Structure 1
């Protein structure tokens, strides 16, 4: 009798585990299947040059936009962009507001607890741009009385605290607010992933300089998908490998991350002359 009870309990536990596994597999498949059914790929993006920004006519352009558009096109889908912030992107992903996050997202331990990451499709240096022209290296900013800005939810915020323990690290909700603080003199520098520090310095070379020497860190950047979304993870991993081998990712990096040619696309176009 006792043996039958144990066998029954074992069967119930096994059945429950199998049921949960099937449910998880079903939920994972829904992400890819739902995208194919509706004909669109919902992509969470974080606005900020040169990754995702709008032209004067309201068109999305940027490194991640090109990547997401090619990804969607390769599977016969139209991209649907969902703007999010670093602070809420994981919540939005888990809430199915999007199928994946494409934001040159650094693979970090804290993020690994919240989502699954694909094979990296890029790397980024995290550096510092400053108004202090005497800052030849990070050590020159690691002083009491020096305030460095960073954006909440980014690796730069934690890296700056670790690498510049004597300085004060002030965290801002987004890059726009952080740049405004830098421009207004509220902070002496801004820690962020490349190429943002260089872009800021290029726009006002008389005011800003990128701190030389080793960067705060070098990150591996990847797509993020919902935990358990095996189908989407496998699809993206295969796509990254294919686009790496055909040179698409390298060409996209070269255009958006090493040149400023794309800035021409942000200039307002002159209205056509009225007919006489």
Structure 2
């Protein structure tokens, strides 16, 4: 009986010691994990490094060479709320995910749409905007066969001519897309018979469209609308509304739950107080800012 009582007391003491030690152990483990998080490193460094690429009106340069745009506002507000400085890291779009994975910066804030392929490489935050794919076309879109009269007739309800997405699904059509964008897959899925012409940057693709080297460009709104307004003698919008509505969010490295949790909650707060909606309205629904860019 005495032996049994002694064993019972020893076991109880051991259980008590473990239970008392467990919270301390858990706290230490949590602290160790947080030390390796991107969020903790940003706060210690006091600088948020953001990977960007030029996409109008997400990211642009004004006449003084400063970055402006919807995502620039988002990045500035995020850094302000974190109490840190902001550093932009301009990167070619087709290499921006590898650069993130290689720790060149902390986060991609550049209107990046979510795709299954990208999700395999990075983690996305909750969506904070939705991009609609669209087309802006050269008025001589069918190798010169579309006359000004044809175009005007189509606009007033005459014979429709390349005014629907399926009209562009033809071997005669050359569709310009930017390298590494979701438009590359959109061409394959929506217009598989057309020829996709891939460009390294936005500027070259627009130049090719204006020169007639491609029939049209497939890219996210509002740039198609903006280009049609800027070059009304050469370009037009075949469709009033876009297609392939795609969610976009912040992209961060895998295995970083603390940073992702912070970003998701930040998005919820900025959605609930109307800040994100107001900035989206400014950059995507109004035009006064156009006088700021080159």
Q: Which of 71, 96, 107 matches 1:100?
A: 107
| Residue equivalent to 2:235 | 208
CA displacement, residues 194-215 of structure 1 (integer Å, 9 cap, x when unaligned): 1111111010112111121553
Q: What's the TM-score, normalizing by structure 1?
A: 0.85
Deviation at 1:140, TM superposition (A): 1.6
CA distance in structure 2 between the partners assigned to 1:93 and 1:27 by the alignment: 20
The equivalent of 1:261 in structure 2 is 288
Distance in structure 2 (CA, Å) of the matches to 1:196 and 1:33: 37
Could you tell me how far apart the structure 2 residues matched to 1:86 and 1:266 are?
Answer: 21
Residue 33 and residue 180 in structure 1: after superposition, are their counterparts in 2 closer, same or farther (change >3 A)? Answer: same
The residue that corresponds to 2:146 in the other structure is none
Within a 5 Å distance, the mapping from 1:10-21 to structure 2 comes to none
1:38 aligns with 2:45: yes
Matched, 1:80 2:107: no
Structure 1 contact 28–228 (Cα < 8 Å) conserved: no
User: Which structure's CA Rg is the greater one?
Assistant: 2
- 1:183 equivalent to 2:210? Answer yes
Question: Displacement of 1:227 after TM fit?
Answer: 0.6
Q: For structure 2, list consecutive stretches of 5 or more residues without a partner in the other structure.
A: 1-28, 142-150, 152-160
For 2:121 and 2:293, the matched residues in 1 are separated by 35
In 1, distance between residues paired with 2:228 and 2:36? 45
Alignment size in residue pairs: 245
- Per-residue CA distance 1:82-123 (angstroms, 9 max, x = gap): 111221011110111111100111110010011000000000
Deviates more, 1:221-230 or 1:131-140: 131-140
Instruction: Specify the alignment match of 1:119 in structure 2.
Output: 126
Q: Give the deviation of 1:216 after TM superposition.
A: 3.6
Worse overlay, 134-143 or 88-97: 134-143
- Which residue, 63, 69, 85 being the options, matches 1:62? 69
Are the counterparts in 2 of residues 160 and 216 from structure 1 also a CA contact under 8 Å? no
Equivalent position to 2:276, from 241, 249, 254: 249
C-alpha contact (below 8 Å) 2:53/2:90 kept by paired residues: yes
2:62–2:68 CA contact under 8 A, matched in 1 = yes
Take 1:202 and 1:213, find their aligned partners in 2: how far apart are those partners?
A: 13
Question: Does the 8 Å contact 1:159/1:216 carry over to 2?
Answer: no
